[in-house]
Chain A
Amino acid sequence: AQTVTQSQPEMSVQEAETVTLSCTYDTSESDYYLFWYKQPPSRQMILVIRQEAYKQQNATENRFSVNFQKAAKSFSLKISDSQLGDAAMYFCAYNPGANSKLTFGKGITLSVRP
């Protein structure tokens, strides 16, 4: 069975600084997808970024980028120039290529200090 591990329950970052959120996963599949979802307090969960396992290039979306280390099964999220609106719970998630069932990590609560 696939597992997703987020070992840090909380992190804090100063506004305008950079923060990295860690995630590791375990799978025997060769085709899969990895996601970071953001869940702000009392608001809907939204996709931050997606990585396809067969792509070597790390995904980027504006201030958000990932460090995808396939051999190490590591998938960290870097947030640059942190903003107050980045404060939220962040979930790392995994999909096998064959179906869309997401396996989530336990999440990390990110706070941003003004």
Chain B
Amino acid sequence: DAMVIQNPRYQVTQFGKPVTLSCSQTLNHNVMYWYQQKSSQAPKLLFHYYDKDFNNEADTPDNFQSRRPNTSFCFLDIRSPGLGDAAMYLCATSRDLTGRNIQYFGAGTRLSVL
């Protein structure tokens, strides 16, 4: 059974047109993360939520925002996508913020920007 579900799997948007990516989880984990992964590169953490507390990475562009309306769902909003934002976006969850935690990943949403 899928535990971290990302929709859609593929998303095409136009340059500058806002887009929202969705993530849901059935694990009841407190923490949800968003990563950006460009082709053949390591995932790069954009931000995470611990419950309702939002934590932005220092180098995450302002163009990227996130919402977590409840425990199960988290959204990634890209306000004005540029060509450089084309990437795989990974959602992950963990029980809490301690280092021993395993992160559980979704299958990702591949975003194309035309």
Chain A contacts to B: CB under 8 angstroms: 31-33, 35, 37, 42-47, 50, 52, 89, 91, 95-102, 104-107, 109
Residue B111 lies at the interface, judged by CB distance under 8 Å to chain A: no
Which residues of B lie under 8 Å from residue A46 when comparing CB positions? 105
- Let me know if B99 and A107 touch, CB within 8 A: no
Most buried by B among A35, A44, A98: A44
- Let me know if A45 and B97 touch, CB within 8 A: no
- Let me know if B107 and A44 touch, CB within 8 A: yes
* 27 CB-based A-B contacts, threshold 8 Å: A35-B102, A42-B107, A44-B4, A44-B105, A44-B106, A44-B108, A45-B43, A45-B105, A89-B40, A91-B42, A91-B43, A95-B100, A96-B99, A97-B99, A97-B100, A98-B98, A99-B98, A100-B31, A100-B98, A100-B99, A100-B101, A100-B103, A101-B48, A105-B42, A107-B40, A107-B41, A107-B42
Residue B94 lies at the interface, judged by CB distance under 8 Å to chain A: yes
Chain B contacts to A: CB under 8 angstroms: 4, 31, 40-43, 45, 48, 90, 92, 94, 96-103, 105-108
Which residues of A lie under 8 Å from residue B4 when comparing CB positions? 44
Determine the residue in chain B with the shortest Cβ distance to A95: B99
Per a CB cutoff under 8 Å, which of B40, B48, B98 touches A97? Answer: B98
Which residues of A lie under 8 Å from residue B99 when comparing CB positions? 31-33, 95-100
Which residues of B lie under 8 Å from residue A109 when comparing CB positions? 40
What is the CA–CA distance of A105 and B96 in the complex, to the nearest angstrom? 23
- Let me know if A106 and B42 touch, CB within 8 A: yes
Per a CB cutoff under 8 Å, which of A45, A96, A100 touches B94? Answer: A100
- Let me know if A106 and B41 touch, CB within 8 A: yes
What is the CA–CA distance of A45 and B43 in the complex, to the nearest angstrom? 11
**In the assembled complex, how far is the CB of residue A97 from the closest CB belonging to chain B, in whole angstroms?**
4
